[in-house]
Amino acid sequence: MDPTIDQIIFLIVSILTLGAGFVVVTNRNLLYSALAMMASFLGVAAIYVLLDAGFLAAAQLLVYIGAISILVIFAIMMTRRLMQSTETSFNAQWGMGIFTALVVFGLFVAVIGNFWPLAPAAGQPLASGTAVPDGMLQDSIAALGRAFVSVDAFVIPFELASVMLLAAMVGAILVAWPKAEDEV
Amino acid sequence: MFSDWQFIAIFVVLSPIFPLLPVAVNRLLGPQRPNPIKQETYECGIETVGDTWVQFKVQYYIYALVFVVFDIEAVFLFPIASAYNQLGLFAVLEVVLFVVLLATGLAYAWSRGVLEWV
Amino acid sequence: MSFGILEFLKSLIDLTVFDYMRGVWGDQRFVEPVLDLIGALVVSTFCLLIVIFLIWLERKVIARMQDRIGPNRVGGKFGLLQTVADVLKLLSKEMITPAAADWWPYNLAPLLIVIASLLMWAVLPFAPGVLGVDLNIGLFYVLAVSSISVVSLLLAGWGSNNKYALLGAYRSIAQLVSYEVPMILSLLVPILLASSMSTIDIINAQTVPFILVVPISALIFFISALAETGRTPFDLLEADSEIVAGFHIEYGGMKFGMFFLAEFIGTLFMSGLFATVYLGGYRLFGLEEFVTGGGWALGRLLGLVVFFIKMFAVYFVFIWVRGTLPRFRIDQMLNFNWKFLVPLTLALVLMVAVVEKLPFMASLGDVSRAGVHLFANLLLGLVTLEILRRFARKQRMAQEEKLAARAAVNSGSEPGNLAPEAVAAH
C-alpha cells in the first residue's frame, strides 16, 4: 500500500518535531535547547497546517515562536548561571519524570482511542478520514469569531481569557518588579 | 483548502536557496585566508575583555511579557474582527470589555513605573 | 487546449499565463505544484532583483534631499550600475567568521531573516488574480511570518559573541517586539471594516480607500512599519555611532549583504502592504477589471502598474522620512510606543468597533459610512492632539519652574559667595 503525499509530509514533520524535542531535553547548552524548542513549535505549526487549521498554525508561529520563545530566551539570559553550557539537563528526579511522561502519554492514547480508532479496522486502508468541505473551511475563521462572542458558545471562556491575561501581567510585574516602597 | 497552503509549503522549501546562493557564490569568489588576528572579535580596536553573554536587565523581560499578553489578545480579536459584519450589539460589548480589561493591565504596568526605561 | 506560442505570449501580457497553462496542461496532478514552484521562483527573484534598484533609488533620493548628486560614475550619468558594482564587490569579499562565534546561530541568522522577508510576499496581490495565494488568514499570516525575524536578530546577536552585537540585538528585539503591538492592533481596524483577513477581500471592501476612512490607523501602521523594518528614525538597531552597527557588526561579505537585503525587501513589502490595506491595492475605479473586445485582459496589466505606483509612492515616503528625521533614543522610542501608540491604538480599535455598530450605520451606504468613520477618526485625532498639547504644556511649565528656581538659587547665592571678598574689599 502506497502512502499518500500527506502521510509522507506528516511523517517527515513529526520526525523533525520529535527530534527537536529530544534535543530540547538532552542538549546541555540552554540556548540551543531554546532554539530546538522553536524548531519543535514550528513542526507543530506544520502539523496544524496538515490538519487544515491554518489560523492555529499562524497563531502558533506568532505566539509561541515570536513571543513565548523570546520570553524564555530573555529569562535564560537574565539568569547568568544558566547561560554557561556546563549545566546538566538531568537532576535527581529524572526517573520520576520519565514515569510521569509515560503515564500522561498512556492517558492521552486511552482518551483519544476512546473517541477515534487508533488503527484502521482489518481490511480498511490506512487513509485520512472524511475531507472537510471547502466552504466550511473558508468560513472557519468567521465561525471561530462568532463562537467567541455568542452566548451559547465560548463567551465565558473568552472573557475569562482576558481576566487571566490581566492576572498574568499583574502577577508577573508583582513578582519581577521591586516593591513600591523600594522605589524612590 | 490544503491547496492554499501547498504554495506556502513549496515556497518554504524553496526559499532557503535564495539566501544560500549568494553566500555560496561569495564563498567561491572571495578569498579564504583566515588568521587569528582577523578572526578576533571586533570591539573598539582593543582586545575584548570578559564574557559577552553577561546578565541583562529585567526591563527587557517585562517588555517581552507585556508583548506576549497583547499578542495573545490579538489572536482572540482577529477571528472576531473577521466575523464582525455577522455580529450583533452584544458582541461589541464583549469586545469592549475584553479590550478594556487588557488596557487596565497596561495602565497598571504604567502606574507601577514598569514601562520606564532606566 | 493545445499550446500556441502566440496565445502564450498574449497570456503573458495579460498576466493570465497561469490560467493559460492550466488550460494547456489540463487536469493533471503535477500542474498545481509546478505552477506554485514557478510562482515562488518569480516572486523571490523579483524581490532579489528589485533590491538592486531600491538601493540605487534610496541613495539617489537621499542624496537629492541632502543637496548632493549621489551615485554618478558607474553606469552612465545617473550611476545606474552603482549597486551592481557594490554587489560584485560584496561577492568578492572574504567572509570572516570570528573565532569566538557560535557557528549554528551565527550562520542561521542571515538565512532565516531572508526567508522570513521573502515568505511574507506570498499573500500580497500585485494585480487582480496575480498573487501567490489568497489565504483566508492573509494579514495574520504576514504578522506571524514577520515575527520570525525577531528570532533571527536574537540568533545574530548571540552567535556573534560580541558585546555590541548582543546589545544591539537586545535593543532591536525590544523595539520589534514593542512595535508589533500597535502594528497588530492597527491592522485589526481594516480587518474589522472588511470583516475578513484575506488581502483580496480587504481590497474588494475598499470602495473608499481605507486611508480616507481610518487615517489614524494608517498613520499608526506606517509608524510601526518604520519601526518594524528598523528604518530611520527607528534605526537604533544599527546605530553606528552608538553601538557600532549593532547586531550585524561581525558579519562580512554576503552574510552581511543578506541582512541588508532583508531590510530592503521588508521595507518594500511594508510599502506594498500599506498600499494594499489602506490605498486600495491594484484598484483604480474598476478599470483594473477591464477586458478588451478581443479578450485581452489589459486591466490586469493596468492594475499591476497602479499597484506599483502606489507601492513606490509609499516607499518614497519611507525614504523621505529617512532624509528628514534624526534618530530616537531607546528610552524615547519605547516610551513613545507604550505610552502613546499602544493606548491610542486601543482607543482607536474600540472606537471603530463601536462606530461600526451604531444603530444608524446599517442603513447607510458605503460612502456615508466611510464619512462617519472619518469624522470619528478626526475627532479622536483632535482629542489626542489636545491631550498631547496639555501634556507638553505641563512639561514645559515644570521645566520653566525648575529653571526659574535654579536661577533664583544662583542669584541668591552669588552675593553670599562674594560676600567675604566684598567685605574685604571695603
CA distance A33 to A28: 8
Is residue A128, in this structure, part of any structural domain at all?
Answer: no
Nearest to C277 by CA among C344, C335, C212, C342: C212
Is residue A35, in this structure, part of any structural domain at all?
Answer: yes
Q: Could you count the other beta carbons within 10 Å of the beta carbon of residue A150?
A: 16
Is residue A23, in this structure, part of any structural domain at all?
Answer: yes
Q: State pTM to two decimals.
A: 0.89
Q: What is the 3-state secondary structure (H, E, C) of chain C?
A: CCCCHHHHHHHHHHCCHHHHHHHHHCCCCCHHHHHHHHHHHHHHHHHHHHHHHHHHHHHHHHHHHCCCCCCCCCCCCCCCCHHHHHHHHHHCCCCCCCCCCCHHHHHHHHHHHHHHHHHHHHHCCCECCECCCCCCCHHHHHHHHHCHHHHHHHHHHHHHCCHHHHHHHHHHHHHHHHHHHHHHHHHHHHHHHHCCCCHHHHHHCCCCCHHHHCHHHHHHHHHHHHHHCCCCCCHHHHCHHHHCCHHHCCCCHHHHHHHHHHHHHHHHHHHHHHHHHHCCCCCCCCHHHCCCCCCCCHHHHHHHHHHHHHHHHHHHHHHHHHHHCCCCCHHHHHHHHHHHHHHHHHHHHHHHHHHHCCHHHHHCCHHHHHHHHHHHHHHHHHHHHHHHHHHHHHHHHHHHHHHHHHHHHHHHHHHHHHHHHHHHHC
**For position A81, which CATH number holds?**
1.20.120.1200
Instruction: Check whether residue A154 and residue A76 sit in a common domain.
Output: no
Instruction: Check whether residue A1 and residue A83 sit in a common domain.
Output: yes
Is residue A101, in this structure, part of any structural domain at all?
Answer: no
Average pLDDT over residues C89-108: 83
Band (C120; pLDDT cuts 50, 70, 90): very high
Q: What's the DSSP call for residue A67? A: I
Is residue A68, in this structure, part of any structural domain at all?
Answer: yes
B29 to chain A, minimum CA–CA distance in Å? 32
Q: Give me chain A's average pLDDT, please.
A: 82
Number of H helices, E strands in chain B: 4, 0
Is residue A122, in this structure, part of any structural domain at all?
Answer: no
Instruction: Check whether residue A75 and residue A147 sit in a common domain.
Output: no
Band (B54; pLDDT cuts 50, 70, 90): low
Instruction: Check whether residue A2 and residue A65 sit in a common domain.
Output: yes
Tell me which residues of chain A, numbers 41 to 80, contact chain B at a CB-CB cutoff of 8 Å: 49-50, 52, 54-55, 59, 62-63, 66-68, 70-71, 74-75, 77-80
Residues 6+ apart with CB under 8 A from B116: C331
Instruction: Check whether residue A1 and residue A77 sit in a common domain.
Output: yes
Q: Do A62 and C148 touch (CB under 8 A)?
A: no
Quote the domain boundaries for residue A74.
Answer: 1-87
Q: Do C180 and B67 touch (CB under 8 A)?
A: yes
Q: Using CA coordinates, name the residue in chain C closest to B8.
A: C122
| ipTM given for this complex | 0.89
B80 to chain C, minimum CA–CA distance in Å? 8
Is residue A156, in this structure, part of any structural domain at all?
Answer: yes
Band (C2; pLDDT cuts 50, 70, 90): low
Quick one: what percent of chain B has pLDDT higher than 90?
Answer: 5
pLDDT of C288 above 80? no
Is residue A170, in this structure, part of any structural domain at all?
Answer: yes
Band (C118; pLDDT cuts 50, 70, 90): very high
pLDDT of C28 above 90? no
Encode pLDDT of C70-89 as tens digits.
888 877 778 788 888 888 88
Total count of domains within chain A? 2
B2-111 CATH, one of 3.40.50.1950, 3.30.450.20, 1.20.140.90, 1.20.58.1610: 1.20.58.1610
